[in-house]
Amino acid sequence: MSAPSLHTYPHLVGDIGGTHARFALVTAPGAAPEATRTLRSGDFAGPAEAIAHYLEALPGARPRWCAFGIATPVTGDDVRMTNLDWVFSIRGLRQTLRFERLEVVNDFTALALSLPALAGEDLLAVGGGRPVAGRAIGLLGAGTGLGVSGLIPCGDDYVALEAEGGHVTLPASDAGEAALLARLATRYPHVSAERALSGPGLLALYEAHAALRGEVGEALTPAEVSARALAGTCPLCVAALGSFCAMLGTVAADLALTLGARGGIYIGGGIVPKLGDFFVRSGFRARFESKGRFSGYLAAIPTWVIRAPHAALIGAARALERHGEP
């Protein structure tokens, strides 16, 4: 494969999740995404309708090349979303929208591809440690679900993982968490990490904390739980968000150990980047380093929160550029 030539531009790039679908144009190799627009995924029957709606408002040349990340495993031509009732064929989508080239990857695979391009204000450091060049990099992030990926060194570049680590079994690190997970187990046949570390998971943690205290929680949304926790106006919300951050530290540490991610751990998704100082002060980093004999190993690994608003679009563009022309 060779790099795409200029005549293939503009490229359409996207980041499709269970709640939002974001699209943009990339007009030249390495250029920043522009004409960015966010749509509600549930307003459309599938990606064809969402993409067509975005393209209707665009002046100028219609993109012929497209790549997008989507929040579900991509294992073949048929794609079925995990947290949204979209089912489609990649080949059929390409034909319907008359694209010459279409790349569809897992959303966190796309986000992982963006990591080498992020620096400075794109990132918020949480805890110490310095990255080791040429070592694996881990990525996870909570939103509608829990995405997990990473970058594995390959020659002078990296290979992005297509993984579903959000569905690993969530462990308890103390008696309090064991009680919370026992409550979640009454709702779910398998208490995966995503059952607690996601928007719906944050709400489930809030309800579990309420039940363990013999209280009845209010009918809140995940956003309201976060907002009340950040404002400090609801002890149950503060407890739920505190548990969320600490448990995320456990899962991030497990990922770091599994990958040998001495290049660092990055945290994206729709929830953590909005938590600001609450996350920095939370139990995340202490839990990340709390691994007994390997605490020193983990203390040397840096962790960052991704603050770049459209990093996954950069990754989708890189996926298309890597594919190149036959």
Is 232 marked as binding a ligand?
no
Q: Concatenated DSSP letters for 210-226?
A: HHHTT-------HHHHH
Q: Concatenated DSSP letters for 260-276?
A: T-TT-EEEESSSGGGTT
**Residues shown for the chain:** 326
Helices (H), 57-89: none
Q: At what angle do helices 222-231 and 235-259 cross, to 10 degrees?
A: 100
Is 199 marked as binding a ligand?
no
Is 16 marked as binding a ligand?
yes
Task: Tell me phi and psi for residue 186, to 5 degrees.
Answer: -75, -15
Q: For residue 224, give the nearest of 235, 207, 237 by alpha carbon.
A: 237
Is 17 marked as binding a ligand?
yes
Task: Tell me phi and psi for residue 92, to 5 degrees.
Answer: -65, -40
If you ran DSSP here, which 8-state letter would residue 155 be given?
A: T
Is 15 marked as binding a ligand?
yes
The pair of structure tokens assigned to 230 is 């950040």
Is 14 marked as binding a ligand?
yes
Question: Which amino acid type is present at position 45?
Answer: A
Half-sphere exposure of 310 (CA within 13 A, CB side): 21
Question: Which amino acid type is present at position 254?
Answer: D
Instruction: Point out the annotated binding site.
Output: 14-19
Instruction: Point out the annotated binding site for ATP.
Output: 14-19
